């Protein structure tokens, strides 16, 4: 790209298939890259600074499962490889990149019932598969109590993972991941999406219209419906403030850590089958 016109044409072509936000990120990367080349006398000027960011494609709006739909997804997931993933995603609202990086070292399925006050089973959402392993924001680093259904699902999942490790033998790569491939390696987004679509085929939902991230959106809606404070929901999902929670999804640690699990135990008072 030798001129601003070249950049404009290239961005215009990308605008036909990419969102405005993605175009903004591409524009920023190009600008910084050329600025570095300019500092080393590789180019004379940064033509990207002369270019506007075109309007891209509208992103597909996210939606939320109703309570009946969420229950049907949980039922359909019973016996599936990612059953525990679906349960945890829907009942604690973690991001898919957070769950794919979750390790057993950050999962406490027993808690400390004899402590004063008692500490419930919990998950430490401290990592993600993002570059560097950091969570999306500083407030995304959080510890959450987990509902009884999550505890039971994760216990069953851990037993099945032990069998998978034995079956894989020398092919198993120990990464301590809670949700891993048949060889212990990290799942990618496509793995999760395909497995989720298989589960949705067992329901009345159209598998092409739903993605794993919408279980997080559903978590927010399910907690909002009975009237949980928006501030508490915002902390549970790791948002910087309530604006994103309210716009997109519809004291300190301890009350938040407990509230989400207690609410989900009330919403889904069901026994795990086939876990």
- Residues carrying an active site annotation: 95, 136, 216, 239, 249
Rounded CA gap, 262 and 260, in Å?
6
Alpha carbon 76 to its chain's center: 20
User: Would you give the DSSP letter of residue 80?
Assistant: S
Residue 78: name the closest of 156, 146, 184 by CA.
156
Q: How far is CA 140 from CA 93, 193, 239, in A?
A: 11, 22, 6
Residue 205 CB: number of other CB atoms within 10 A? 16
Determine the Cα–Cα distance for residues 178 and 85; give it in Å rounded to an integer.
9
Strand order in the sheet with 107-108: 107-108, 122-125, 142-145
Q: How many CB atoms lie within 10 A of CB 95?
A: 21
* Paired residues of 103 in beta bridges: 177
Q: Answer positive or negative: Cα dihedral of 243, 134, 82, 263.
A: negative
């Amino acid at each position: 790209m030798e001129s601003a016109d070249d950049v404009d044409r290239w961005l215009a072509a990308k605008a036909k298939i990419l969102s405005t936000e993605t175009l903004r990120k591409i524009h920023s990367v190009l600008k910084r890259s050329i600025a570095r080349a300019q500092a080393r006398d590789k180019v004379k000027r940064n033509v990207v600074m002369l270019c506007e960011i075109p309007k891209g494609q509208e992103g597909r709006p996210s939606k939320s499962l109703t309570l009946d739909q969420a229950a049907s997804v949980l039922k359909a997931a019973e016996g599936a490889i990612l059953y525990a993933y679906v349960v945890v995603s829907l009942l604690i609202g973690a991001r898919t990149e957070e769950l794919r990086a979750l390790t057993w070292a950050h999962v406490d399925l027993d808690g400390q019932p004899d402590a004063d006050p008692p500490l419930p089973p919990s998950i430490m959402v401290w990592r993600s598969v993002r570059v560097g392993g950091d969570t999306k924001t500083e407030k995304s680093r959080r510890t959450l109590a987990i509902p009884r259904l999550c505890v039971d699902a994760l216990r069953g999942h851990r037993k099945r993972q032990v069998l998978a490790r034995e079956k894989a033998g020398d092919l198993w790569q120990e990464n301590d991941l809670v949700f891993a491939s048949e060889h212990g390696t990290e799942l990618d987004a496509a793995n999760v999406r395909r497995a989720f679509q298989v589960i949705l085929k067992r329901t009345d939902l159209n598998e092409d219209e739903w993605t794993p991230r919408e279980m997080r959106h559903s978590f927010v809606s399910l907690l909002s419906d009975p009237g949980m404070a928006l501030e508490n929901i915002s902390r549970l999902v790791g948002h910087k403030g309530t604006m994103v929670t309210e716009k997109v999804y519809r004291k300190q640690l301890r009350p938040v850590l407990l509230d989400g699990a207690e609410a989900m135990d009330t919403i889904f008072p069901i026994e795990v089958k086939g876990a």
